[in-house]
Chains A and B, each alone.
Chain A
Amino acid sequence: MSSFFRKRGVIVALVVTAAVIILAAIAHFGGSNPVSTVLRTVFSPFQNGMAYIVNKVDGTVDFILEMKSYKEENERLVAEINELKKQNRDITNYHEENERLKELLEMQTNLDAYSTVAASVIAYSSNNSYDTIQISKGTLAGVKEGNAVITPDGVVGKVIEAGPTWSVVSTILNPDNALGVKVSRTGDVAVVEGDSELYSQNYCKMSFIDKGSNLIVGDILETSGSGGIYPAGLSVGAIRDVNSDSMGNLNYATVEPLVDFDKLYEVLVINGVVY
């Protein structure tokens, strides 16, 4: 039996050897192995499909195995983003503060006839209105009672109490405060004072208006310089509403201050005349 197989086995081996030699000769002289060419052509679509599936499975397995590290990386990146957001907010705040201080400095430069002291707003009136505010400079910095307090936007009020390192400012919203103004457009003079009904809305009242004044909503009011506290030409507010009686006589106008008391952070105190 074994000799039978050996004989047939030898024949098969010889046949295969001859076929391989022929194929090798064809490949050597022809440049390509025909068996290889045919098989690769037949197999390649299936190999493409299988490779696609294998890659997908590989990717999924890798993802699952690396999920822990992805989670840690995600947490680290979220913390980093939060820190960067905080830094961004801080930078924005610094930028805004820088802009305000630049405006204040420019104003200080423009008011070279007066001596000025810059201060920060550190406290507000305890009744949640802006009739009085507290600032960070006092007598040690040269601030005195009666000094005008302004910002680049306009008039804030005047100092009514001064400590060594603090001062209390009565704003133009305070019913106890009044200042002489004139209408920029027409030159008409009047008085702007706080009103007990209007100050909670951050408005004040313009009264003692000249008869025959032609006021319109939006007219800008500026200090007239009378009274000796506020220099002339400083912005005060804009007319928001004009009220008249049945005879058409002007009684008073509602004034909206140009200073935004909700966002008041730094002020300038005019504490004297230089020349």
Chain B
Amino acid sequence: MKNFKTIVWIFVVFLIQTVIVAPIHIFGACPSLVLSYIMCVMILENEFRRATVISIVCAAMMGALGGRGFTVIVLFYVYSSIAVFSLRKKPLYAMDSIKVLIWTFIVSALLEVVMYVIQNMTINMGMIISTVLPTAVINTVMAGIMYPILKKTLYQDDSKKKLLIT
């Protein structure tokens, strides 16, 4: 049942991303609902195999449907997912919801910088302020909205298990 819900989530997220979100450009930013979703999953997920599969599937779909540099997108999504999953427990005192926001912001900003550098072979502060920051902020907001919904629909049993164990 959890696998089925995960498939439905991925399907819906990609539909919304390609049909509704992709045409939106707020202050020049191109938001990525998929990246926000992946960051939420990497923080909430406890199984390495599931996290890896989800990140590879989403990365491949984003690269194939995203329209911007298949190779770079896939590799970046996978690497950043593995990195976030590895570091999801740190720091221990921070709430998962805060970690989601921070990691989404960092990864979004990094992705935009990487894409810009690859396309233009240069970097400047004006570009960072006008393109990277708005994208990172919007993705962070979307992650903040998605996190509680995802936790409630997909990871509520895990929370109960944790409570039972403790």
- A35 x B20 contact (CB < 8 A): no
In the complex the two chains form, is B78's CB within 8 Å of A12's CB? Answer: yes
A8 beta carbon closer than 8 Å to chain B: yes
Contact B18 A23 (CB under 8 A): no
Enumerate B69-110 residues with CB–CB distance to A below 8 Å: 70-71, 74-75, 78-79, 82-83, 85-86
Among the interface residues B15, B60, B64, B65, which one has the most CB atoms of the partner chain A within 10 A?
A: B64
- A selection of 27 A-B contacts at a CB cut-off of 8 Å is A6-B86, A8-B48, A9-B85, A9-B86, A12-B52, A12-B78, A13-B79, A13-B82, A16-B74, A17-B75, A20-B71, A21-B71, A33-B64, A35-B60, A35-B63, A35-B64, A36-B63, A36-B70, A39-B60, A39-B61, A39-B64, A39-B65, A43-B18, A47-B19, A50-B15, A50-B20, A54-B19
Is A51 part of the contact surface with B, judged by Cβ < 8 Å? yes
Indicate the member of A13, A16, A17, A39 with the most B CB atoms within 10 Å.
Answer: A16
Q: Is A27 part of the binding interface, using a Cβ–Cβ cutoff of 8 Å?
A: yes
Contact of A16 among B48, B78, B85 (CB under 8 A): B78
Select B56's contact among A9, A16, A46, beta carbons within 8 Å.
A16
Q: Given A39-B61, A50-B19, check contact A16 B70 (CB 8 Å).
A: no
A5 at the interface (CB under 8 A from B): yes
Q: Interface size for chain B: under 10, 10 to 19, 20 to 34, or 35 or more residues?
A: 20 to 34
What residues on A are CB-neighbors of B15 within 8 Å?
Answer: 43, 46-47, 50
Query: Hey, which bits of chain A sit against chain B, CB under 8 A?
Result: 2, 5-6, 8-9, 12-13, 16-17, 20-21, 23-24, 27, 33, 35-36, 39-40, 43, 46-47, 50-51, 54
Contacts of B18 in A (CB 8 A): 43, 47
**Could you tell me which B residues sit within 8 Å of A by CB distance?**
11, 14-16, 18-20, 48, 52, 56, 59-61, 63-65, 70-71, 74-75, 78-79, 82-83, 85-86
Chain B contacts for A51, CB-based, 8 A: 19
Asked if A43 and B78 make an inter-chain contact with CB atoms under 8 angstroms apart, the answer reads no
Interchain residue pairs A-B with the least CB separation, the first 5: A36-B64, A9-B82, A50-B19, A39-B64, A16-B78
The one of A6, A20, A50 in contact with B75, judged by C-beta atoms closer than 8 angstroms, is: A20
Contact A43/B65 with A16-B74, A54-B19 known, Cβ cut-off 8 Å: yes
Q: A39-B60, A39-B64, A43-B14 are in contact. List 8 more A-B contacts (CB 8 A).
A: A5-B86, A9-B82, A9-B85, A16-B78, A17-B75, A20-B63, A24-B71, A33-B64
Complex contacts, B86 vs chain A, CB 8 Å? 2, 5-6, 9
Cα–Cα distance between A50 and B59 once the two chains are bound (Å)? 22
Within the assembled complex, what's the spacing in Å between the Cα atoms of A46 and B16? 10
User: What is the bound-complex CA distance between A20 and B59, given in angstroms?
Assistant: 11
Contact B71 A16 (CB under 8 A): no
Selected contact of A40 from candidates B60, B64, B74, CB within 8 Å: B64
Complex Cα–Cα for A54 and B16 (A):
10
Question: From B18, which residue of chain A is reached at the shortest CB distance?
Answer: A47
- Nearest residue, chain A, Cβ from B73: A20
Smallest CB separation, A162 vs chain B (Å): 85
Distance, CA A36 to CA B63, complexed state (A)? 8
Residues of B within 8 A of A24 (CB): 70-71
Chain A residue nearest to B62 in the complex (CB):
A39
A54→B20 CA distance, assembly (Å) = 7
Output the least CB separation between B159 and chain A (Å). 21
User: Nearest chain B CB to A59's CB is how many angstroms away?
Assistant: 15
Q: Please, how many angstroms separate the alpha-carbon atoms of A2 and B83 in the complex?
A: 11
Give the complex CA separation of A13 and B74 in angstroms. Answer: 11
Q: A33-B64, A36-B64 are in contact. Are A23 and B48 (CB under 8 A)?
A: no
Whether A33 and B70, one on each chain, are in contact in the complex, defined by CB atoms closer than 8 angstroms, is yes
Please give, as numbers and ranges, the residues of chain B lying within 8 Å of A5 by CB-CB distance.
Answer: 48, 85-86
Q: How far is the CB of A23 from chain B (nearest CB, A)?
A: 7
Tell me, in angstroms, the Cα distance from A179 to B102 when the chains sit together. Answer: 112
Are A40 and B75 in touch, CB under 8 angstroms?
no
Residue of A nearest to B67 (CB): A36
B15 to chain A, nearest CB (A): 5
CB distance from A53 to the nearest CB of B (A): 9
